[in-house]
Chain A
Amino acid sequence: MMGWLQGIGHNTLSRFQRVGSGSLFLWQCILGLPYMVQRPKLFIRQLYYVGVQTLLIILVAGLFVGMVLALQAYIVLVDFGAEESISLMVSLSILRELGPVFTGLLFAGRAGSALTAEIGLMKSTEQLSGMEMMAVDPMKYIIAPRFLAGVIAVPLLTSIFMAIAILGGYFVAIEMLGIYEGVFWSQMQNNVDFYSDLINGMIKSLVFGFVIVWIAVFEGYDCIPTSEGLGQATTRTVVHGSLAVLGLDFILTALMFNV
Chain B
Amino acid sequence: MGPSGTGKTTLLKLIGGQLKPDTGTVHVDGENVHDLSQSALYGLRRRVMGMLFQSGALLTDISVYDNVAFPLREHTALPEAAISHLVLLKLEAVGLRGARDLMPAELSGGMARRVALARAIALDPQMIMYDEPFTGQDPISMGVLVKLISDMNKALGMTSVVVSHDVNETASISDYIYVISDGKVVQSGTPDELNHSASAWVQQFLGGDADGPIPFHYPAATLMDDLMKGAEK
Contacts and interface: CB of A to CB of B under 8 A. Distances in A.
Interface of A: 122, 125-127, 129-137, 141
B55 A133 contact: no
Contact of A130 (B38, B43, B57): B57
A136 B74 contact: yes
Given A126-B53, A127-B57, A127-B59, A135 B43 contact: yes
B43 A133 contact: no
B71 A130 contact: no
Q: Would you call the interface of chain A mostly helix, strand, loop, or mixed?
A: helix
Contacts of A131: 59
Interface string B14-38: 0010100000000000000000001
Interface string B51-92: 101110111100000000011001100000000000000000
Given A125-B60, A126-B57, A132 B71 contact: no
Contacts of A130: 51, 53, 57-59, 116
Nearest to A141: B74
A132 B17 CA distance: 10
A134 B55 contact: no
Given A133-B51, A136-B71, A136-B74, A125 B57 contact: yes
10 contacts: A122-B60, A127-B59, A130-B53, A130-B57, A130-B59, A133-B18, A135-B46, A135-B71, A135-B75, A136-B70
| 10 closest Cβ pairs, A-B complex | A130-B57, A135-B46, A126-B57, A135-B45, A133-B51, A135-B42, A126-B53, A134-B71, A136-B74, A126-B55
A134 B58 CA distance: 11
Contacts, number: 54
Contacts of A136: 70-71, 74-75
Given A133-B18, A135-B43, A127 B60 contact: yes
B49 interface: yes
Most central of B43, B50, B59 by chain A CB within 10 Å: B59
Most central of A122, A130, A134, A137 by chain B CB within 10 Å: A134
Contacts of B75: 135-136
Given A125-B60, A130-B53, 13 more contacts: A126-B53, A126-B54, A127-B59, A127-B60, A130-B57, A130-B58, A132-B18, A134-B74, A134-B119, A135-B46, A135-B71, A135-B74, A136-B75
Q: How large is the interface on B (under 10, 10 to 19, 20 to 34, 35 or more residues)?
A: 20 to 34
A132 B57 CA distance: 11
A132 B74 CA distance: 12
B112 to A, nearest CB: 11
Contacts of A129: 13, 18, 53, 57
Nearest to B47: A135
A5 B95 CA distance: 62
A125 B54 CA distance: 10
Contacts of B51: 130, 133
A136 B53 CA distance: 16
Contacts of B74: 134-136, 141
Contacts of B49: 133
Contacts of A127: 57-60
Contacts of A125: 55, 57, 60
A137 B70 CA distance: 13
Interface in B118-175: 119, 123
Contact of B16 (A122, A126, A133, A137): A133
A137 B71 CA distance: 12
A155 to B, nearest CB: 27
A122 B49 CA distance: 21
